[in-house]
Amino acid sequence: MIKTYNMIIHELHDYRSPKTKLGRLVKEGVYTPVIRGLYETDPNTAGYLLAGSIYGPSYLSFDFALSYYGMIPEIVHTVTCATYNKKKKRIYETEFGNFIYRDVPVKAYPIGIIIKNESDYSFQIATKEKALSDKLYSMKPISNQKELEAVLVDDLRIDMDEVIKLDENDLREISEAYHSTNVSLLYRLVKRRTMKNEKRD
């Protein structure tokens, strides 16, 4: 369970020096520091479950979410998250792993986020459509759909069959909020491929 410094100090208010008692509990492994002012009671907790508490508002996205969904073959050890209006990238190195937070446009931020529950934790994560859009937004501009396919297959190593399964309507909504060339190309690519498949059927 995640706890703040103030929560723990309040729980230890009967001790002569709650701060000293907390220091002992940390040494005994009862609490594991995450970042300043934040502690976890279970040292084996998966880092991504703590991402929203470390810095927010934020949701899991980019490479971590793509790996979580099995869309890219690599296992991603750094927890990558999306934020907004923070102006600069934030990096945290903790006992529970490394975390990176980077901005997406304000209008695009609330779209395509789902809440998942695991053990006693709940966390926010991008849908497949949003995670890939966030990732493409963070990359250099792509010229056309042919180049986009090359980036998806060669650089990100995503199976195009998985890309075509993405929800066209969700991508349209995300694209309209993003106003990003890369995200718009993704939407048009999926739309074109979907239309081709429908004609074959």
Q: Which helix (H) or strand (E) holds 51?
A: helix 51-54
Q: Which helix (H) or strand (E) holds 122?
A: strand 121-126
Give the pLDDT of residue 197: 63
pTM across the whole model: 0.92
Give the pLDDT of residue 199: 56
Give the pLDDT of residue 192: 87
Rounded distance, CA 32 to CA 98, Å?
15
Would you state the structure tokens that stand for residue 29, as one six-digit string? 């492994």
What's the start-to-end Cα distance of the chain, in Å? Answer: 51
Give the pLDDT of residue 74: 86
Rounded distance, CA 38 to CA 5, Å?
6
Low-confidence ranges of the chain (pLDDT < 70): 196-201
Give the pLDDT of residue 160: 87
Task: Find all residues with CB under 8 Å of 60, minimum gap 6, and list them.
Answer: 48, 51, 68, 79, 80, 81, 123, 124, 125, 126
Give the pLDDT of residue 60: 98
Rounded distance, CA 29 to CA 43, Å?
8
Per-position b or e across 36-48, b if 16+ CB within 10 A of its CB: eebbbeeeebebb
Phi, psi values for residue 135, rounded to 5°:
-60, -45
